[in-house]
Amino acid sequence: MDLKPTGAAEARNQDQVPPRHLEQVDRAEAMRLLGTVSLGRIVFTQHALPAVRPVNHLVEGEDIILQLHDGSALAALAAPPDVSGVVVAYEADAIDPGTHLGWSVVVTGYARPVADPQELAGYAARLRPWVGQGMSTAWRITPALITGFRLEPEPEPDPDPEPAACGG
Q: What is the mean pLDDT of residues 37-60?
A: 91
Question: pTM for this structure?
Answer: 0.77
Query: Between β-strands 137-153 and 63-68, what pairing exists: parallel, antiparallel or unpaired?
Result: antiparallel
Q: Strand runs (DSSP E) across 81-131, as ranges?
A: 86-95, 102-113
145-160 residues labelled b (16+ CB within 10 A) or e (exposed): ebebbbbeeeeeeeee
Q: What is the pLDDT of residues 81-125, one digit of tens each?
A: 666 788 999 999 999 998 999 999 999 999 988 888 899 888 888
The tens digit of pLDDT for each residue in 125-157 reads 888 777 666 667 889 999 999 999 999 988 777
